C-alpha cells in the first residue's frame, strides 16, 4: 500500500516537473525507472522510455511486481492471509481500494490524464493508514505493520529526493534560478511536504530541503523520523530496550538511525547527495533483510531462537 502510494508520488513529481520545463526541453522519464530499481525488467518489456511507457510500467503493468496495481494486489492478498489479525474495517478498506483502483486502471483515457488516478492511490493508502491507526490493537501485529510501512517510506523518501538528482538541469547556471526553485518545490509537494517545509524554513533552499526530508525530527515523511519510529516498533516487538541490541535487525536499524541522528546537511552535500542516498538505500535493504531473517524465516524447534523476549 505504502509502495503504491510512493510510486504515485514519483510519477506525480515527474509530471509536475515536466510541465514546468521550458518548451522544447527533452522530457526525462527514464530516470524514474532507474530510481525504482527496475531497469532490467523495463528494458526487457519496453523499447523506449516514453512518458506513456513509463507510466504504464510503473502504474498499470501487472508483470511489474512493483507497479501500483501489483502493489495493491499484493497488499490485498497479504491482508487476506492475515485477515484474522487485522480489523474488518482495514480489510474492507484495502479490498474496496483494490476494486476501485483496478476499475480506474482499466480506463483507456488514464494515460493521458493520470492525475486523479494518482491522487486516488495516495488517498487509498492514507485511508488504510488512518483506519489501521484507529482500529488496530497496539500489539505485535500493529508494530510489524508500522515498521514495514515506515521502512518503506524512508526508502521511498530517499528515492524521491534522488529524482531531482537525475533530472538534469538545462545548465549549471540554472542552479538557484526560478526554474530550480520550481523543481525543488515539486519534490516537496510530492512528499506532501511543501507547506510544512515553508513553516519550518520559509524560502526554498536545497540544503534546507535536504535537511527537512532527511534529518527533520518532526516531519512524518523525513527519513530520520521514519527510522526512529520504525526502530521503536522493532524494540516494542522484541522487548529489547532502545539503545541496545540482541539481534542483527536491531543492530543494523539502530546503527542506521544513529548515523542519521548525528549527520549534518553540509557533510551530506559535500559527500554528494546522490552517493549518500545510494549508500543509505543499501544499508536500509540490509536492515530489512535482517528483520525478515530474525522474525520470519522458519527455524526448527530447539534451534536457538534469534533472541528471547523479556529477558
Q: How far apart are CA 298 and CA 296, in angstroms?
A: 6
For another protein, which residue of 30, 83, 189, 201 counts as binding (CB under 8 A)? 83
Nearer to another protein, 229 or 237 (CB): 237
What is the rounded distance in angstroms from the CA atom of residue 210 to the CA atom of residue 280? 14
Residue of 47, 103, 109, 301 interacting with another protein (CB under 8 A): 301
Listed in sequence order, the DSSP H helices in the chain are: 2-20, 30-36, 39-45, 51-55, 68-81, 88-105, 115-135, 140-166, 178-190, 194-201, 206-210, 223-238, 248-261, 265-271, 273-295
Taking the C-alpha atoms of residue 72 and residue 85, their distance in angstroms, rounded to an integer, is: 19
User: Is 166 one of the binding residues for another protein (CB under 8 A)?
Assistant: no
Q: What is the dihedral of CA 284, 286, 290, 293, to 10 degrees?
A: 130
Report the residue number, 57 or 280, with the smaller CB distance to another protein. Answer: 57
190: three-class secondary structure by DSSP: helix
**Taking the complex as a whole, how short is the minimal distance between the CB of residue 239 and another protein, in angstroms?**
8
Using CB under 8 A as the binding rule, the residues of this chain from 115 to 154 that contact another protein are 140
Q: Does residue 201 belong to the site contacting another protein (CB under 8 A)?
A: no
Q: Which of residues 98-117 bind another protein (CB under 8 A)?
A: 99
Here's the x/- map for another protein, 244-283, by CB under 8 A: it reads as ----------------------------------------
Residue from 24, 108, 202, 302 touching another protein (CB under 8 A): that is 302
Task: Report in angstroms the alpha-carbon separations of 170 from 16, 20, 74, 173, 273.
Answer: 16, 12, 39, 8, 19
> Where on the chain is the footprint of another protein (CB under 8 A)?
62, 76-77, 80-81, 83-85, 88, 91-92, 95-96, 99, 140, 237, 295-296, 298, 300-302, 305, 308-309
Amino acid at each position: 500500500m505504502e509502495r503504491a502510494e510512493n510510486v504515485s508520488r514519483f510519477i506525480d513529481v515527474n509530471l509536475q516537473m515536466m510541465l514546468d520545463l521550458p518548451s522544447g526541453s527533452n522530457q526525462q522519464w527514464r530516470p524514474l525507472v532507474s530510481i525504482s530499481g527496475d531497469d532490467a525488467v523495463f528494458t526487457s518489456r519496453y523499447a523506449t522510455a516514453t512518458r506513456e511507457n513509463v507510466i504504464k510500467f510503473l502504474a498499470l503493468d501487472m508483470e511489474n511486481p512493483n507497479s501500483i496495481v501489483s502493489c495493491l494486489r499484493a497488499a490485498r492478498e497479504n491482508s487476506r492471509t492475515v485477515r484474522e489479525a487485522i480489523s474488518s474495517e482495514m480489510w474492507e478498506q484495502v479490498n474496496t481500494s483494490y476494486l476501485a483502483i483496478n476499475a480506474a486502471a482499466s480506463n483507456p483515457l488514464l494515460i493521458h490524464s493520470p492525475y486523479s488516478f494518482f491522487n486516488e492511490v495516495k488517498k487509498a493508502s492514507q485511508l488504510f493508514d488512518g483506519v489501521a491507526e484507529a482500529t488496530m490493537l497496539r500489539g505485535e501485529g500493529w508494530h510489524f505493520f508500522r515498521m514495514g510501512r515506515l521502512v518503506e517510506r524512508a526508502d521511498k523518501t530517499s528515492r524521491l529526493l534522488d529524482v531531482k538528482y537525475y533530472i538534469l538541469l538545462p545548465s549549471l547556471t540554472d542552479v538557484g534560478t526560478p526554474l530550480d526553485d520550481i523543481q525543488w518545490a515539486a519534490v516537496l509537494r510530492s512528499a506532501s511536504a511543501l507547506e510544512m517545509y515553508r513553516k519550518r524554513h520559509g524560502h526554498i533552499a536545497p540544503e534546507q530541503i535536504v535537511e527537512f526530508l532527511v534529518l527533520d525530527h518532526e516531519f512524518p515523511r523525513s527519513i530520520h523520523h521514519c527510522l526512529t519510529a520504525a526502530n521503536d516498533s522493532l524494540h516494542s516487538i522484541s522487548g529489547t530496550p532502545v539503545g541496545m541490541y540482541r539481534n542483527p535487525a536491531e543492530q543494523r536499524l539502530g546503527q542506521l538511525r544513529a548515523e542519521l541522528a548525528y549527520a549534518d546537511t553540509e557533510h551530506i552535500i559535500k559527500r554528494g547527495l546522490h552517493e549518500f542516498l545510494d549508500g543509505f538505500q543499501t544499508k536500509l535493504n540490509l536492515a530489512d533483510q535482517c528483520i525478515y531473517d530474525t522474525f520470519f524465516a522458519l527455524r526448527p524447534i530447539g534451534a536457538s531462537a534469534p533472541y528471547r523476549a523479556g529477558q
